[in-house]
Amino acid sequence: MSRFLLLSASMGAGHDAACAELARRLNAAGHESVELDVLRLLPGPIGAGLRGFYHLVIRRAPFVYSGIYSAFFQPGDGPRPGSTPLAALAEGRLLDAVAHSRADAVVSLFHLAAQLTGRARARGRLAVPSAALVTDFAVHRQWLQPGNDLNLCLTGPAAQEARHALGRPSAVYGPLVPESFHPHPPGEQRWHERFAEGGRSGQSGGAGGSGGMGGTGTGTGTGTGRPMVVLSAGAWGAGTRFTRTAETLRHAGYHPIVLCGRDERLRRRLTHVKGATALGWVEDMPGLLAASAALLDNAAGQTALQALAVGIPVIGWRPIPGHGIAGVRRMAELGLSDYAANEAELVQALDRLVPDGPRRSNRIAAGRALLEPDVVAPLEAMVAER
């Protein structure tokens, strides 16, 4: 048995969700784990300030985040700024956390954490092995720190890219999606019944329960016969033109279900869109996704992975700047999703992928295959080799 210190970050909900699932899988394999928000390792209000700034720019000033991503994250010629100063500020508290938790290894699920552990490991300060678990489809340079012992990536091409850039071991892991996300989850039928009874326009709030059957193309819809298409805004309601997209979907014969996360202002605005359903925080995501015909995704994050696990097609649409654009396009390049650059392409992609047939089946099969690699075995091997 080994003890792992897992470093996440409360930047939205995706990193914490992946961290919780990794902890569950490690515990199921007989190991112990301790979860820690890397932002809490930064002194004073720096961590909270960093989170607040990201929250602000990703929702209100995406062009600012686009510039930050271009400067700090994308590769380029010549010297480029990095996160070394922030990592240096957190090193002492990291070492204290490792000692306090008596960890045998550290796993980073956020790029700042990967920079922190790799730097400390390279300087001989961190005595236990460290792994960077890359949660993005597109591996940006802040993930790549040569001090880390292992890089775990979502796809084979990403692992090869990391291995080539660093000359360090890399492996592929299956996305960290909870077991409840699978074809035919129990809650799907409840969502079918909810919308068949007329719960279509202006609905609000989350939805509990469990149930479902799995995305099934033209049979997936409402009492009006309109297939349900989920449009995700993430935990923070990030993105643009949700009203316009909902109207486009309605005119094309679909029933838009907009996931507004914790953004109540966005949800209230969308309740006035005829033929659309606006939801706040949803508890039964497996059932809702399984009851839907497709997901429109703008970040290539946890929601996209959940859709692949349940078995419905994903279409990249109006991605958020930086890692969102990079990830959405990389998913499409890998044949795991479609990418629609305009409304005509969006409707065409839906018309191809919503009806039952080979195109839908092949896309769903590709997504399910992504889930197969094991995440625990490479971490066990890393500890065994220390």
Shared domain for 235 and 142, answered yes or no, is no
Whether 222 shows a pLDDT value over 80: the answer reads no
Does the residue 181 lie in any domain? no
Domain count of the fold of the chain: 2
pLDDT at 203: 40
16 lies in a domain? yes
Q: How many CA atoms lie within 13 A of 374 on its CB side?
A: 10
**Is 29 inside any structural domain?**
yes
- Same domain, yes or no: 170 and 224: no
Residue 180 maps to a domain:
no
Co-location of 221 and 106 in the same domain: no
Residues 235 and 252 in one domain: yes
Range 48-57 average pLDDT? 85
| Greater pLDDT, 377 or 210 | 377
Contact yes or no for 258/233 (Cβ under 8 A): yes
**Residues 226 and 359 both lie in one domain:** yes
Query: What share of the chain has pLDDT > 90, as a percent?
Result: 70
- Pair 9, 97 in one domain: yes
Whether residues 198 and 154 share a domain: the answer is no
Alpha carbon of residue 360 to chain centroid: 22
CATH code for position 208: 3.40.50.2000
Residue 175 pLDDT greater than 50, yes or no? yes
Q: Please tell me whether residues 277 and 352 are part of one structural domain.
A: yes
Residue 183, in any domain of the structure? no
- Is 96 a member of any domain? yes
Alpha-carbon gap, residue 132 to 171, rounded angstroms = 11
Does a structural domain hold residue 132? yes
165 and 309 in a single domain? The answer is no
Structure tokens at 14: 């995706």
- Specify whether 167 is located in the same domain as 280: no
Q: Which domain holds residue 22?
A: 3-175+372-384
Determine the pLDDT at residue 35: 97
Question: pTM score, two decimals?
Answer: 0.86
Instruction: Indicate if 57 and 95 belong to the same structural domain.
Output: yes
Residue 166 CA, distance from chain mean position: 24
Q: Say what the pLDDT of residue 223 is.
A: 47
| Mean per-residue pLDDT over the chain, rounded | 88
Instruction: Say if 182 falls within a structural domain.
Output: no
- DSSP one-letter string for 153-175: ESSHHHHHHHHHHH-S-EEE---
Question: Taking a C-beta distance cutoff of 8 angstroms, is the pair 298, 316 a contact?
Answer: yes
pLDDT bin (cut points 50, 70, 90) of residue 63 is: confident
Report how far residue 2's alpha carbon sits from residue 29's, in angstroms, rounded to the nearest whole number.
10
How large is the average pLDDT for residues 241-261? 94
Domain identity same for 102 and 245: no
DSSP three-state, residue 223:
coil
